[in-house]
Every structure is written in structure tokens, then in C-alpha cells.
């Protein structure tokens, strides 16, 4: 028996159950996030064999890292220079994989999956991100809530992790009941229709395109989403505010700043940040003011915008790429997740928006949380202790910093939460017969049709002298699909079967739009 683990679990769970969310979110105002990062570094340098070896390889004496300025000079760790070079146990504290109680899997796209061990206490940090959403956005402290987990279940990180975090909220006293049909649409329809009316609201948690597919398919078969007071939690995809509006309209949303929220998460370290009513309000303003968005983010495209707790996950920016540090089953110090983005302080954000004539705090105060939802009378449950914010404070406004994310800086595309690599498609084009038709160049994209449904587009360059035909397109699409299913377990399990077949277009050699001659080819487009 490992007595230390039991004591660790008991202490952490007791703190989670008894500490109000507001107290947790205010830590950064009184606690230096930089000091927390230094403490994490010292702990990892002392206890994690792989990180000690990493520092030695770079001729760094841990004792020399005494200030945050020293910390910022530490070389970032990546999958390539750190995680893939050491046995899994050596990446854990004291080289003990058994100190973790579960292992998740991510990205089997190269034929070799990445394993991410974690312990129960690691999930409690992430449960606070869910608490922010359920408390601030959905008022789930006073509403009987059915949480329907629509992420893929199994070894992949999304489904089980999300289910656990929602159950921890129920343990804390929230009137939340969890059910996990996974990405089985028929089962989702059944549980919502048979159980939904017994609750004040139903929360659907899943990948954005899959949730939209569930909603659209439900409408086609007569599901009356409005009577279930649907809320939504998304992860794994960037989506537009037009998409949020469209999906919200179809379920009868009455307040788009409060009726949905997106998580910025990763299998590497769980949820790093989450949308808040404030960040959504800001993002919707910026969606209507592309000039302001470009001035703020430096690009015309609109990134994901979330807030984060710097005492839980500390972000840095290096050459336009996000680094983060955080404690996990595999603790990570200055980890480069290969996401392009940046960070903005709370005060900087409000100052910038004020210069553009917009006050999101005032906007939320006006919009409030107007809703026709019935409230659960807390007196019905004598064991439930409500911990409300002050009556004058609008929920969803916390002075937390912002992080914005454009996406991976490598050449993947994200589709229904699955990372798809060009290498997967390449194999499909290298099969017998097909390889005689094509040059091997292609452009991989995720596009939307007129109804905002996503599909996987592959534009393929034909070999010189080869003419396209419907038969060739169908053969190439089938070959790519076969290899995607074979090589990429996320694709095979995350993407619904009816959305898996890529839409192939054939273009001649040297096409100036997709395959210009003399220019370094890019295999993906965002």
C-alpha cells in the first residue's frame, strides 16, 4: 500500500470540496505565479529523473535557477527533445509510473501513440475549470443539471476525464448528474429525451462539429431541443462566432455569452484555460470588428480566446509560440505545445477595448443572466451549501489573464478533435495504381459547407499528363480514408463515420493556386 498517495488524495479532495471557487480564482492576486513556477521547477528538477537528465544535457545546475529571469532562460521541453527520449516512468516523479492511477492516450497518428499518466489529484486542478463554466455560465449551483458526455470514450483523454471532473463537481454539492453515451448519437438522443425533462437544464459536452451534427440530426428526427434548456461545452476545435450563433439558435439559446463555453485543453496537461462569459463577450465584439481583432492579435483570423489561472498553468510566449508550465502525472516545465498565440493581461485587455469604445464588463452587466430557466430551490436539499458571489457581482467576470490560440504551428489539421497529419494522407497516395496518377503533393484542409458543417478536403496534384475523373477521385478518397482509419486511432474513433470520407479534388500539375512551381509546398491550410 502507498500511504503517501492516500494522504495526498484525501488532502487534495478535502481542499477541493471545501474551497470556494472564488477563493481559488483570486489566488493569483495574492500569490506570485512566478514564484509558483519556480517552486514547480525545483520540485521537478529534484524528483523527475528525465528532467534532471535534460538539465544535465544542457549543462544547467538546478541550484543556479534562483529567479524568474533565470527560469525564463531554461530551454523549453518538447515531445521531440524530451518526452520521446525517455522511458515513461522516468518522466514521472521519482521514476514511478505506479504513482499515477490512470493513463490516457493521444495521437496515434504516426503509428505510435503518446501515453499521458496522471493521478487523481491532477484531475482536481482541471475540475476547477469545469466549475468555472458550470457555476459562472450555467448557474449549475442552483439548477438541476444533466451533464451528457459526448466525447469519445475509451483510452482517449476527452471522455473519461470530462466525466470524472463533472462527478467531482457533484461531490462538491452541485446538483449535477452525469451520463456518458460518448459519441453514439442514438444513445445521446435516447438519454436526452428520456431523462432531460427531469432536470432544469441539459449540458452537452463534446467536439463542436459533433455536437452540431447531434443537434441537426435531432432536429431532423423531431427532437425538441428547446424544452431541455440546452447548454454546451466544447473542446478540440476552433469555431467562429457565426457558428456559435447558428448552433445556439437551433437549440433555443437565450444568452450566447452564458449558454456555451469552450475549453482550451490538451492530453498533455488537461484543460489549460476556458472561455468565460467575459471572453465570449469580447470575442463576439471582435468578430464584428476585424480591424480591432487584427490590431489586438496581429492577424486577420480570429483565434480562440480564453482566460486562465496562472497559479495552475503559467503561460509564456516565445517567438509567437505558447509555452506553459504545470503539474501533472508528467510535470511539464516550459513545455512547447506548438500552438501559435499570445497572452494579454486583464487590465491590458480592458484598456485596449476601451480605446475601441467597448466595455465588456458593462455589456455583461446589461445583458446579465436573463433566462427563463426555472431555478432549483436550495431549500429542497438541506445538504447543499450554496456559495454565491455577491449580489452585485455579475457572474463570469474574473480578473484573470487571457491567452489566445491560433492553433498548432506544425502541419496538423484538427477535425472533430482528431489531429490529422499530412503523413497519414501521404500513405494513401502511395498505394498501388494511385501512386501512378499523382505527384504526391496535396493540400489538406477542414472546410465548412453552406450549413456550417465541417468536412475534410484534400486537393491532390495529378501527375503530368494524367487527367482527372470521378473514378480516380473516388479511388483516391477511399485509399486516403483507409489509411487514416488504419494509422490514426483518433480519426477512427473521434470522427463520426458519415464525416470520415474526405472530399477529393484533382488539380493539374503546377496549378498556380494550390501547387505553384518554384515555391516550397505547404501540405495544410488553416
**pLDDT tens-digit profile of 247-257?**
999 999 989 99
Q: How confident is the model at residue 108 (pLDDT cuts 50, 70, 90)?
A: low
Number of H helices and E strands in the chain, helices first, is 19, 18
pLDDT bin (cut points 50, 70, 90) of residue 300 is low
> Lowest-confidence range among 11-20, 93-102, 388-397?
388-397
Which single residue is written with the C-alpha cell 517567438? 319
Give Cα 507 distance to the centre of its chain: 34
Angstrom distance (rounded) from CA 45 to CA 9 = 23
| pLDDT attached to residue 384 | 42
Q: Which residue has the higher pLDDT, 379 or 165?
A: 165
Alpha helix locations (H) across 63-147?
68-71, 120-132
pTM of structure? 0.83
Mean pLDDT over 68-89 rounds to: 95
Q: Is the pLDDT of residue 316 over 90?
A: yes
Residue 488 has pLDDT above 50, yes or no: yes
Confirm if 453 and 213 have CB atoms less than 8 A apart: yes
- Which pLDDT belongs to residue 232? 98
Strands, E assignment, 196-331: 201-206, 230-235, 260-266, 270-274, 304-307, 314-318, 321-326
Confidence of residue 410 (pLDDT cuts 50, 70, 90): low
User: How far apart (Å, rounded) are the C-alpha atoms in residues 155 and 166?
Assistant: 18
pLDDT value at position 497?
93
Q: In this predicted model, which residue has the larger pLDDT, 353 or 107?
A: 353
- Each domain of the chain, given as residue ranges in start order, spans 117-408, 414-507
Quote the pLDDT of residue 112. 65
Tell me the β-bridge partners of 340. 321, 407
| Mean pLDDT (the chain, rounded) | 89
Sequence-distant (6+) residues with CB within 8 A of 15 are none
What's the mean pLDDT in 491-504?
A: 94
Confidence at residue 367, expressed as pLDDT on a 0 to 100 scale: 66
Euclidean distance between CA atoms 524 and 504, whole angstroms: 14
For the record, the C-alpha cell of 10 comes out as 484525501
Rounded CA-CA distance 427/450 in Å is 31
Q: Find the range with the poorest average confidence among 26-35, 95-104, 120-129, 516-525.
A: 516-525
User: What is the CATH code of the structural domain delimited by 117-408?
Assistant: 3.40.50.2300
Name the DSSP letter for residue 200. S
Segment 467-484 shows an average pLDDT of 94
* Residues across the chain: 526
Given this structure, which CATH class describes domain 414-507? alpha beta
Kindly give the residue spans of alpha helices, DSSP state H, lying in 403-446: 422-429, 434-437
Residues 181, 149: Cα–Cα separation, whole Å: 6
pLDDT attached to residue 500: 96
Confidence (pLDDT) at 110: 47
Name residues whose C-beta falls within 8 Å of residue 214's C-beta, 6 or more positions apart in sequence.
Answer: 150, 185, 188, 189, 204, 206
Average pLDDT of the residues in 161-179: 97
pLDDT at 409: 52
Quote the pLDDT of residue 380: 46
pLDDT at 368: 59
The residue ranking higher by pLDDT, 390 or 215, is: 215
Average pLDDT of 223-245? 91
Q: Taking 70 as the threshold, does the pLDDT of residue 398 lie above it?
A: yes
- Nearest CA to 19 among 164, 172, 168? 172
| pLDDT tops 70 at residue 337 | yes
> Tell me: the pLDDT tens digits for 269-291?
889 999 999 999 999 999 888 88
Q: Is the pLDDT of residue 518 over 80?
A: no
Average pLDDT over residues 393-415: 84
Whether residue 370 is predicted with pLDDT greater than 50 in this model: the reply is: no
Which residue in 43, 119, 50, 41 sits closest to 87, CA to CA?
50
pLDDT class for 158, splitting at 50, 70, 90?
confident
Amino acid at each position: 500500500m502507498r500511504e503517501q498517495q492516500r494522504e495526498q488524495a484525501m488532502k487534495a479532495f478535502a481542499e477541493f470540496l471545501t474551497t470556494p471557487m472564488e477563493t481559488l480564482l483570486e489566488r493569483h492576486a495574492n500569490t506570485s505565479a512566478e514564484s509558483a513556477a519556480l517552486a514547480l521547477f525545483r520540485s521537478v528538477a529534484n524528483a523527475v529523473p528525465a528532467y534532471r537528465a535534460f538539465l544535465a544535457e544542457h549543462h544547467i545546475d538546478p541550484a543556479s535557477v534562483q529567479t524568474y529571469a533565470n527560469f525564463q532562460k531554461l530551454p523549453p521541453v518538447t515531445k521531440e527533445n524530451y518526452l520521446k527520449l525517455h522511458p515513461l516512468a522516468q518522466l514521472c516523479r521519482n521514476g514511478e509510473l505506479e504513482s499515477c492511477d490512470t493513463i490516457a492516450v493521444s495521437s496515434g497518428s504516426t503509428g505510435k501513440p503518446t501515453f499521458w499518466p496522471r493521478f487523481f489529484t491532477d484531475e482536481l486542478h482541471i475540475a476547477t475549470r469545469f466549475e468555472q463554466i458550470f457555476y459562472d455560465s450555467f448557474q449549475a449551483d442552483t439548477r438541476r443539471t444533466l451533464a451528457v458526455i459526448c466525447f469519445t470514450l475509451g483510452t482517449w483523454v476527452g471522455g473519461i476525464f470530462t466525466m470524472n471532473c463533472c462527478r467531482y463537481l457533484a461531490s462538491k454539492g452541485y446538483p449535477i448528474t452525469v451520463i456518458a453515451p460518448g459519441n453514439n448519437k442514438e444513445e445521446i438522443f435516447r438519454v436526452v429525451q428520456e431523462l432531460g425533462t427531469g432536470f432544469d437544464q441539459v449540458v452537452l459536452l463534446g467536439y463542436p462539429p459533433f455536437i452540431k451534427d447531434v443537434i441537426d440530426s435531432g432536429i431532423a428526427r423531431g427532437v425538441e431541443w428547446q424544452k431541455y434548456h440546452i447548454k454546451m461545452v466544447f473542446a478540440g476545435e476552433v469555431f467562429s462566432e457565426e457558428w456559435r450563433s447558428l448552433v445556439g439558435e437551433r437549440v433555443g439559446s437565450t444568452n450566447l455569452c452564458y449558454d456555451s463555453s469552450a475549453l482550451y485543453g490538451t492530453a498533455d496537461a488537461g484543460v489549460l484555460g476556458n472561455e468565460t462569459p467575459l471572453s465570449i463577450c469580447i470575442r463576439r465584439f471582435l468578430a464584428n470588428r476585424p480591424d480591432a481583432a487584427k490590431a489586438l492579435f496581429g492577424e486577420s483570423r480570429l483565434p480562440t480566446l480564453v482566460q486562465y489561472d496562472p497559479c495552475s498553468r503559467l503561460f509564456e510566449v516565445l517567438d509567437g509560440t505558447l509555452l506553459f508550465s504545470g503539474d501533472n502525472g508528467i510535470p511539464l516545465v516550459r513545455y512547447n505545445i506548438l500552438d501559435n498565440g499570445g497572452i494579454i493581461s486583464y487590465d491590458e485587455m480592458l484598456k485596449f477595448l476601451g480605446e475601441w469604445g467597448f466595455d465588456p464588463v458593462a455589456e455583461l452587466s446589461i445583458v446579465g443572466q436573463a433566462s427563463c430557466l426555472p431555478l432549483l430551490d436550495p431549500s429542497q436539499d438541506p445538504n447543499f451549501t450554496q456559495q454565491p458571489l455577491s449580489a452585485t457581482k455579475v457572474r463570469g467576470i474574473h480578473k484573470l489573464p487571457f491567452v489566445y490560440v491560433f492553433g498548432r504551428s506544425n502541419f496538423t489539421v484538427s477535425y472533430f478533435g482528431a489531429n490529422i497529419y499530412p503523413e497519414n494522407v501521404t500513405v494513401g497516395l502511395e498505394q498501388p495504381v494511385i501512386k501512378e496518377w499523382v505527384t504526391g503533393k496535396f493540400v489538406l484542409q477542414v472546410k465548412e459547407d453552406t450549413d456550417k458543417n465541417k468536412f475534410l478536403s484534400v486537393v491532390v496534384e495529378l501527375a503530368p499528363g494524367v487527367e482527372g475523373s470521378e473514378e480516380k477521385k473516388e479511388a483516391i478518397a477511399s485509399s486516403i480514408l483507409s489509411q487514416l482509419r488504419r494509422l490514426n486511432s483518433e480519426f477512427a474513433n473521434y470522427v463520426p463515420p458519415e464525416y470520415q470520407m474526405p472530399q477529393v479534388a484533382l488539380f493539374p500539375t503546377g496549378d498556380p493556386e494550390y501547387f505553384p512551381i518554384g515555391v516550397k509546398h505547404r501540405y495544410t491550410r488553416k
